[in-house]
Each structure stands twice: as C-alpha cells, then as structure tokens.
Amino acid sequence: MNNIYSKCRNAVLVLGLGMAGMFAGCSDSYMEDLNTDNTKTSVPEPAYQLTFALLSTYGSFASMEAVRAYVAPYTQMYGGSWNAANAGGANLYKSDVSQSLWNVHYQNGIKNLVDAEYNCKNDKAMLGAIRLHKAYLFNILTDVYGDVPVSEAGKAAHEGIITPKYDKQEDIYKYLFDEIDASIALFRQDLSSQTLKKADVTSMGGDVKMWIRYANALKMRLAMRISDVDSQTAKTKFLEAMQEEGALASNEAAYVKYIHQPFTFESSNEDVDFRVNAFAEIMYGQDKTQPTGFGMTLYDYMKKENDPRLYHYCRFLNDNFRDNTDPRNGREDFTEEVLAAENDGDTNTKGVQMVPACWAWYDQGSTSGGANFPWPDASCVTNSQHYQEFIAGREGQVVADYYYKAVRGSVATEYVLPETPGMLVSGAEVCFLKAEAAVKGWIGEDANALYQKGIEEAIATVHNKVYAQTSSVDAADIAAYVAAHTLNADAEKAKEQINTQAYFLHFANPLEAWANLRRSDYPALYERTQFGQGQNGYQDPDNDMSQPVRLYYPLEEENYNSKNNADAKARVEGYNWHKRMWWDTKDQNYTTYPL
C-alpha cells in the first residue's frame, strides 16, 4: 500500500501541473484546461490515473471549499465557522467557492478517467473500475448542480470537444445506470485482475467481486434517488441490483483510504498530494478559532433519539494549544465538565450551548421565533480543576475565544484526522435502502428487520470499524438502541424513521446526506428564516433566505461555454439555487425550534 501511495504522489505531481492558474481566476484557456489533459506524465498507466481519481474524491482541498461553505451547512450537521454561517448559512454567494467542486472533479477526476478509459480497452476489470468511478463523480456533480456535461465531458484531447453540452439530469441518470451495468459486465470478465489490485486505494483492495457488490449498492442508491419521479424505472433498477452477486453485505463498506501525514492547509496542495482526507482537513480548519463545529440540528435529533454515537461525533473541546497540522495533538476535551453542568438540574449552571447551523459560534441574540442564544457562558469549563491544570504555566497564552467556544460543540477528533476514510457506500446504507424498498412494496423482505440491521451496522461497522480509533460504542449500548427503534406501520412515518437514521449514518459524507435529504425530505430541518441572520447580515442574491437546493454553475461557464450553459439554465424556469432537481419532487420538510 505504501508503494502505491508513493508512486501515486509522483503521478499527481505531474498530472496536476498547470491547475493552479485555473483556480486563481478566469483565463482564455478555461475550457481547454477543463477538458484537455495537456500534461505528459512519467507514469501514464490508467492504473495511476484511477488511483489519482479515487484519492481526489475526498482528497482535494480546493473541492472541499464548496462542501464546507455550502453543502455541509445545508445538511445542518455542521456549522459554527465563518464560512458555514455566512456562505451556506446566510446565502452569501461566493462564485469561486461555489464552483470549486465542479472545477476539481472535471479537471482532476473526470479528465483523467476519460483519458484512462481510452487507453484501457483490454484490461477489463480496470476499465470497469474506471467507468464506475466516473459514474460516481458524475453523480456528485449532477446532484449538486443539476444538468451538467457528461456525454461530451473530458473529451477535448481525444475528440476535440472543448465546449461540451449539458446533458439533462434525466438522461444523466440513464447514463449512470448504463455505466454501472457496463462496469459489472466488465468486472465479470476479469475476476482476478492484478492491475486493479495495484491501482485500488479503497477498502475493496482490488477484490473484483466486492467491486461488483459496491456497483450494485451504488445502483440501489441511484434507483432510490429517482423513486419519486420515475418509480417504475427505480423499482426495476433496484431489483436488478439484488440479483446474482447482490449489493454490499451489511457489515461491508466501500471507502477510499487515506494516510496519516501532517495537514498543509493550502489549496495549492491538490497539485501535488491527495493522500490525506481534505474534507477532514478543511473541517478541522486552517484557523483554530474557526474550525467548523457540530450542527445544532443534528445534535438535537441525536439527543432526542438517545443515539449512543452522539458524543462520539460531537465533543466539547478547547483548541487554544492545538497543533494545526495534527488534530491528535493539543486539543483538550471538556465534554465531561460540559455534560455534568448540562445534567445537574441547576438552571443557573450552563452546559451545552449550541447555536443554529446558520450562525457562527460567536453569534448571539434573540430570534424572530422567540429563541434566545446568548453569548456563551463557559464557567463550567473555566471553573473546573481540569481547566486550571490545563492552563497551568500557560496563563499568558490563553485566548478567551477558545474557552467560550468549548460549550458550542466541535466535531470529534476521530472524524477530522488526515487518515479519516472517504466513504463511498456502506452495507448499512444498503440496509436502509432495502428497508425503504420494502416499505414501498418493491421487495418482500421484513422492513423492520432491515431497518434495525441498518442501525446496528451503522454503529458497529461504519462508526466502530471504519472511523473510530479509540471511541467505539459498546455492543450492549448498540443492542439497547436497536431494540428501542422499531419501524412504524405507517409508510410515511417509516420513511421518516429510515431516512433519519440514514442522516446520522452520512455524518462524514455530507454530499450524500444533502442529496438524500432533498430526495426523502427527512428528517425535517430547522426552518432557517426563524433564526434571522448572523451578525454580518449577508443577503441572498435573489432576496430569498430559504435554504438553497442546488449550487450555481461556475461563472466561467457563462463566458467560455455560454450557449450550452444558457441552454441548461433555460430548462430550469427562473433558474437560481432555490430550484429543485429533476428527481426532487417536493419541498424539504422544515420544523420550528426546538424539536
């Protein structure tokens, strides 16, 4: 494994050349850069291009700018930082940030995978993996932006197309199903591929049969995504994914592996190295006063459900002396003190003091809905013996912001490490998808059994075995939690239960969490307008403070691919970021604070 990571770094050094200028601003070479691979690499094999594309899924700091600023706060699982509160939280449109996911996935992932596909006709399993991951990235792009270039994307070098058309989302989903089917057919022709073993930096480790199960799991996800707009196709595709090899087993998970090395906190780093999880890196934050914190909505739901993962996901930390390059060093945990104050029965003692995901941690005041979020009272921390021992001999270095922020809630260290895995699809998600399929009457399996198995594996496998290194949930606590959660006989209530648990599951994968929230409309999020705006008072460009449901296309597309861009916008009446996707048939459910 170390060998492939080392070689991949050398490949990335070459494949990434010339990218930095693209993110610095517009240029006449925009479309050519986006669709043409003009580089020459000393390791041109498709294997290294696949490795590069897999790692870039979560490994590009630049692409994660859009996730931190928009996608993550839209899920209301994350909040508290300036970026989350004011970009995603207050609908501040920042074109360079909004387009970052588009630019990186097209220039890094799609362009290299298209090139690899042209040069990998005879290596069947490798070609299957290339086409499957290309479909995975296209799915991210269409679910975030809507109609996007797919059929003509990345083909400038081979076919001379530098202004690709935007395919309709309905057609894109047909394409995605076709690509998944084609990849499975290719995998079946080469079940013992040695080349895939060399290229694979996922948990699947080159196991071609597991790649097939992963492909079917992805097919199930996409089938459920379109279930409200094209139920017959959705059912057909879902049932197809259950045949022969089937999908991932409940205790399996497909994820990209990353390694432990210091964070660099430089967007230019994507030119040379994708070996750490950049989503974890950017949520940890370049500025220790502004790491992205834990969202109040997720906190309130997990507390309401008595979820044993809550304080494995969320901790109450002081970052005064933290190491900016390694989250393991210097973060002091005051969760015990904060929860003791929260649960002592004394209303004068303040413990947990979350703020809405659309506010920064330092925002304060009363809301239009009557809620009051005052300046944090951190006396439960600062009056503790623990705190006095923590600062002993360093009193002159203490910054008040850090102990105030400690009661607002932080993302647990295990979820912001350089080696934090990048989830693709898990067997727990398959259980939830099958449970919803059973509720719909697509399959004859026991919906409650599937639901409970999904909960069990979401904790026992996804949290305990994939993410947790020191804080696994006890088996007895898992069993008690599962037993306390049975599926309601009412179909709509059952759908809410299933997708609320899927929401908890997707904590470290906000792109999928956001897509599934928009598709299922569960759980109900806090209606953001009840909280007003944070202190900076930014305003949506269309004077609409409701929560967006897509991101805007890059401004460069208006200038350099203007006709195709205009055609795509014209297909969305009154195009803006409040217009739902083709597969999103209903408005998101919202609720008022508190739950």
For 136-147, the pLDDT digits (tens) are 999 999 999 999
- Whether 221 contacts 436, CB under 8 Å: no
The confidence score (pLDDT) of residue 9 equals 44
Q: What are phi and psi of 308, to 5 degrees?
A: -70, -10
How does pLDDT run across 367-424, given as a tens digit for each residue? Answer: 877 788 999 999 999 999 999 999 999 999 999 889 999 999 999 999 999 999 999 9
**Ordered domains of the chain (ranges, CATH):** 2-256 (1.25.40.390)
User: What's the CA gap between 81 and 284, in Å, rounded?
Assistant: 10
The confidence score (pLDDT) of residue 22 equals 28
Q: What are phi and psi of 591, to 5 degrees?
A: -135, 165
Burial class (CB in 10 A: 0-12, 13-18, 19+), 121: exposed
The confidence score (pLDDT) of residue 25 equals 32
The confidence score (pLDDT) of residue 536 equals 59
- Whether 577 contacts 561, CB under 8 Å: no
- Whether 77 contacts 513, CB under 8 Å: yes
Residues 6+ apart with CB under 8 A from 389: none
User: What's the CA gap between 209 and 70, in Å, rounded?
Assistant: 36
How does pLDDT run across 324-361, given as a tens digit for each residue? Answer: 899 999 999 999 999 999 999 998 889 999 999 888 88
* H-assigned helices in 88-227: 95-98, 100-104, 111-118, 124-145, 156-159, 169-188, 194-199, 208-225
Give me the amino acid identity at 211. W
User: What's the CA gap between 2 and 474, in Å, rounded?
Assistant: 32
Torsion over CA: 264, 267, 270, 274 (sign): positive
pLDDT < 70: residue spans in the chain = 1-44, 266-273, 533-539
Cis peptide bond upstream of 594, omega within 30: yes
The confidence score (pLDDT) of residue 510 equals 98
- Mean pLDDT (the chain) is 90
Residue 262's nearest CA partner among 252, 271, 275, 251 is 275
Tell how strand 332-333 and strand 372-373 pair up: unpaired
Please name the residue that has the structure tokens 């739950």.
595
